[in-house]
Structure 1
Amino acid sequence: IFSMHTALDNSVLGVNNMICDKLGLINRQILIPQAQTIKKLITFVPKNEADTLRNALFEAGAGSIGNYNNCSFNTEGIGTYKGNEASNPTLGKKGEIHFENETQIAVTFPRHLESNILKALFKTHSYEEVAYEVTTLENKNQQIGMGMIGELEQEMSETDFLNTLKTNMKTETIRHSGLLQKNIKKVAVLGGSGSFAIHAAKAAQADVFVTADLKYHDFFTAENQIVLADIGHYESEQFTKNLLVAYLTKKITNFAIVLSKTNTNPVKYF
């Protein structure tokens, strides 16, 4: 169930990538990176156990930053503690203050892996009581979020772009804001209802924003800075089923997955 839920979440980003594929966009980035999905763990471990614990955290999914894995920061220091009569210290004696050469390990990880990370920490750490800190970072997650923005390999006129968009996205009509009489190079996309991302597309200096379900007053927010192109809700999300079929086919190899060819769009064009 969790894997399927994750697949559905990832399909949002996947659909936007497929729109980018259809338009031939390069140099892609997430339009609205998601906030508060990156966490940081700081813990303290005896120096001679640092490698073992660090590797266990990496195996659990910590320490990945973009294209890099096994990322951590390590500081050497001296930890102190004194156990009470009910304690059973791994190092030192109860009732006596103990000084231990320790390594402070700091790693980041995605929010959904917190349970796995902490399980690896407690399983691997030798201390009876493990000292650790988990915080949520303000850093934007550059790997997940809403929408995409990229560039055409060759810029084109607004009319040529709209014709390409209409053909490649198989839409019968495009509602758009006023054309600005300039070439299109930078394109922002967001499948489904995307009016909330207009300001993000403008801030990213996109020449055009491709989305759906724009209302009358939404078009005023273009403010002669961007072309807003509404291709229709169904049309913008029509490739979701392809993603799900690909995912299920990969995960369930002994079960036939059939891609429906039925057009379920309730909107008809006259």
Structure 2
Amino acid sequence: MAIDPSREPIVVVDDLHIIYRVYGSTSGGKGTAATAMLRMVKRESGPQVKEIHAVKGVSFVAYRGDAIGVIGTNGSGKSTLLKAIAGLLPPHRGGVYTDGQPSLLGVNAALMKDLSGSRNIILGCLAMGMTMEETREKYDEIVEFAGLKAGFIDYPMSTYSSGMGARLRFAIAAARTHDVMLIDEALATGDAKFKQRSQAKINELRKDAGAVFLVAHSMDVIEETCNRVIWLDDGRMRMDGDPAEVIEAYISATTK
């Protein structure tokens, strides 16, 4: 893993291995009362542990100013990699080193559904470490960026569509500068105008912050937004390089 001495590293992933432990029934049946009783009658031992090797020996260096797209088929380890960089999953082997605090934004990022969008903006900004004054200054910008229809910002989040909720989450997260911003599928839920705004915001964050990682199934979004692409395949890195070259190789390999 070579390091470019002319650039400033902000994330180093060194021979990273992530292993999930999944608990399941030894009987192989569904978790019903009948199968539970059957296990008791047979005096079977407790749940069987199955290990899933989700990330296998991934190594790379991300530099300040990078916008890195992470692509791969479902189950290839993309979201797991982002969670490991964010510090949410401990490495089984290897390590992740970051210069600053990573922030993970996903479509399923938790906001309080019973509260209004307006209240969630305030809570979300305060949770990111912004002051109340900074939150007030950014409030109108967040609402406009999220593209919510008139009045919706005062409705409970439970009334929002998945796309509306995802746009608001992204708008809140983008309201402050992040050392390392990790975005998992958030751009896939917006319309063309929102995607353009999101791409412009990511370019802005690249200038003011550290690095941006983006997981998305849309190759157009990845190519237009990122200066570099990492392709994961079954937990291993297949390629790391120029977006056009990596995406072309990925499409060629997955459409055969």
TM-score of the pair, normalised by structure 2: 0.22
- Bigger Rg, which one: 1
Looking at secondary structure, tell me which structure has more helix per residue.
2
TM-score of the pair, normalised by structure 1: 0.21
